[in-house]
Structure 1
């Protein structure tokens, strides 16, 4: 097991820290699977009642998928439980808090959207920039963001790849609270302590009922949309290869539309 994901247990809570600061905490395939395995352990541990996910340092929570890895002969693999082992994990009844300490981009934003509560530092920012590299936000961003902010706002954010501030995310209902820079994890820990004073079974029952009512068809769509013709065409296109290549080479992409 590698150490891309640091795990710290504090009483009844588990803190997961994405520890790839040199890559703005972007996740590569080993990091995805490591986090998935560690979330599996948390999910089945009767002594752990709540999780917090954060990133190392203060610049980035998670900058998404490691695009440079997509230039390798084999494309990066994400576990069945989704980006970071969380975005497709629909059976986790324990609460998860995101402590967003900096940029949450692409899959990083989708990771935060998959959490139950989001605490953001005032220097945090959020965006789904996938279209700028010839891809789409397929780890739940296309499905969860409209549910949070409405279809019109979501469509603009996704099509323009516009980055929003922590305050705007708060105003839009994406974030629960904004705290001073450097204090996201401390604020999340304090919030977790409050949650842990309640009955864990009551918390899990409450989460289960709310999530089932709110998610509706998201569970099916997370799998089904990967086979929709528009997604298949995009993933098999020259542009899907050109985008990550241009990103890695630090140049503007030359789109062909095919």
Structure 2
């Protein structure tokens, strides 16, 4: 194991590459994959280090829970060993910059040149919920329990989860989910669009791998163009969207015909 891989593993994350597929695993099951700034830095570093050949990124977790959320020790005066206490962070002049760095571990899953899949089982709470929301697609086990507990703790979700949550379920339901901190199970997740697929827990890894394989079967350029078209819908009128469709299709036709721009 390289020094970098050992550092990531110590933070609770493992990266495996198999051709065009990258698998990122949260690997602290004894801690229910509780998150820390070290884990967020490791996730951000993995995003920076991914080879350009990667087309699909699969996020999974070991153990009974996907992630129980932030390690609450961060809020104690002593903080997580080796990290700044969030109490000290609140008093600092660079807090905005530090939180922006934390968010980097949640951003690259949305990159236009790949498709990301989260395979989620058990509890996905707070930061765990937001990490699942960072991915393009979610395959969940029947025992999944999502919850956004930040507001109940006097905080807000700040790891890039608010936009995808609203995009998926709408502002009213998103407010209700965040404001109450209640649990969202598999049936509701599927019904509201939080989950693309619900499977028995023992079939989760196989189902996520099957979806990754299906995505890898599509030509890369066509998949990238399709993702861009769909992601841009919210900011375009119908006329703007159909113009974007025409432009993308012409690029694909010219590419297939071997015709230059």
TM-score range, shorter chain: 0.7 to 0.9
The number of aligned residues is: 212
Q: Deviations over 1:188-215 (max 9, x none)?
A: 1111101111111211121122223347
Whose helix proportion is higher, 1 or 2?
2
What residue number does 1:48 align with?
54
Taking the aligned partners of 2:36 and 2:48, their CA distance within structure 1 comes to: 18
TM-score by length of 2: 0.74
The answer to whether the 8 Å contact 2:133/2:164 transfers is: yes
Taking the aligned partners of 1:31 and 1:117, their CA distance within structure 2 comes to: 21
What residue number does 2:174 align with?
154
| 1:91 Cα offset (Å) | 4.0
Greater Rg, structure 1 or structure 2? 2
- Alignment of 1:200 with 2:200, yes or no, is no
TM-score by length of 1: 0.75
The answer to whether the 8 Å contact 1:29/1:78 transfers is: no
The answer to whether the 8 Å contact 1:101/1:182 transfers is: no
The answer to whether the 8 Å contact 2:141/2:199 transfers is: yes
Please provide the CA RMSD for this pair. Answer: 2.1
The answer to whether the 8 Å contact 2:109/2:116 transfers is: no
- Pick from 38, 41, 63 the counterpart of residue 46 of structure 2: 38
* Structure 2 unaligned blocks of 5 or more: 90-97, 237-261
- Pick from 147, 172, 182 the counterpart of residue 202 of structure 2: 182
Taking the aligned partners of 2:66 and 2:211, their CA distance within structure 1 comes to: 18
The answer to whether the 8 Å contact 2:13/2:25 transfers is: yes
Q: Deviations over 1:194-252 (max 9, x none)?
A: 11111112111211222233478xxxxxxxxxxxxxxxxxxxxxxxxxxxxxxxxxxxx
> Could you say which structure has the greater relative contact order, defined with CA pairs below 8 angstroms and 6 or more residues apart?
1
* Structure 1 unaligned blocks of 5 or more: 217-258
What residue number does 1:168 align with?
188
